[in-house]
């Protein structure tokens, strides 16, 4: 039909190459996530703010506030690192 006919047994190689490419992509994705602080169990608290105090226990609310403060501190640190890197390139 298309002028291309592969011999029997070639499909396994296509599957192997596809599987290997997927595994390489997964490894790079996990590596990126680990380097960019994506494996944080407390990330669920970042969606809460002062208006959610009545929906949480006092312990959860305190944890939420601490996580938000820590995240904001880390955000400032990352922005300062980026600014320092930008100045170093100039």
**Which domain range does residue 26 map to?**
10-39
CA distances from 3 to 6, 7, 89 (A): 10, 13, 54
3 inside domain: no
Instruction: Say yes or no: 29 and 46 in one domain.
Output: no
CA distance 54 to 64: 13
Joined tokens for residue 42? 């407390």
pTM: predicted TM-score of the whole model, two decimal places: 0.56
66 inside domain: yes
75 inside domain: yes
1 inside domain: no
CA triple 49-81-86, angle to 5 deg: 125
Nearest to 56 by CA among 77, 47, 83: 47
pLDDT, tens digit (0-9, with 9 covering 90-100), for 16-65: 999 999 999 999 999 999 988 888 778 788 788 888 888 888 898 899 89
């Amino acid at each position: 039909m298309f002028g291309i006919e592969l011999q029997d047994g070639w499909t396994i190689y296509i599957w192997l190459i596809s599987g290997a490419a997927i595994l390489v992509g997964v490894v790079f994705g996990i590596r990126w996530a680990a380097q960019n602080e994506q494996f944080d169990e407390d990330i669920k608290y970042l969606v809460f703010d002062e208006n959610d105090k009545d929906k949480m226990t006092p312990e959860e609310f305190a944890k939420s506030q601490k996580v938000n403060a820590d995240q904001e501190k880390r955000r400032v640190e990352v922005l300062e690192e980026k600014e320092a890197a930008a100045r170093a390139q100039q």
